[in-house]
Amino acid sequence: MRAAHGRHLRARRGMTLVELMVAIMILAVGLLALAGVAGAVGRQISGGGLQTKAALSVQSRFDSLSSLDCTTLAATGTATALSGLTENWVVTDGNDIKTITNTVTLKDRTKPLVYVTVIPCRD
């Protein structure tokens, strides 16, 4: 097939330099976004591990306090664990119940975690 000016038309092959640069920019933006998401996921996984440690510690504290007689429960208490968390608990009297509020402060979190349970008194 001949063009109007007598040149042969050939099928276009490859990419132009501008198209290549645009493709590289799109790829770079995508990789940067992926790196940001990976960092956020890593922080969430680390935070989840700390929260799991806190929940296990609090569950152990609730179990040990619920095994005591209601008359022998101390009104407050504090304990520090090796994993960088500090527990502070308060026992509140109720009508045949004790409400225990356990506040856990983690070394890498600014806001403490608060857990509450109720123990029935059978004294």
pTM flag (> 0.85): no
Residues 6+ apart with CB under 8 A from 37: none
User: What is the spatial distance between Cα 70 and Cα 48, in angstroms, rounded to a whole number?
Assistant: 33
pLDDT band at residue 10, thresholds of 50, 70 and 90? low
User: What is the spatial distance between Cα 61 and Cα 54, in angstroms, rounded to a whole number?
Assistant: 11
For range 70-79, the mean pLDDT:
78
pLDDT in tens, 19-32: 999 999 999 999 99
pLDDT band at residue 69, thresholds of 50, 70 and 90? confident
Residue that wins the pLDDT comparison between 68 and 114: 114
For range 6-18, the mean pLDDT:
71
Domain boundaries, given as residue ranges, for the chain: 17-120
* pLDDT for 85: 84
| Helix (H/G/I), strand (E/B), else coil: 71 | helix
User: What is the spatial distance between Cα 54 and Cα 35, in angstroms, rounded to a whole number?
Assistant: 29
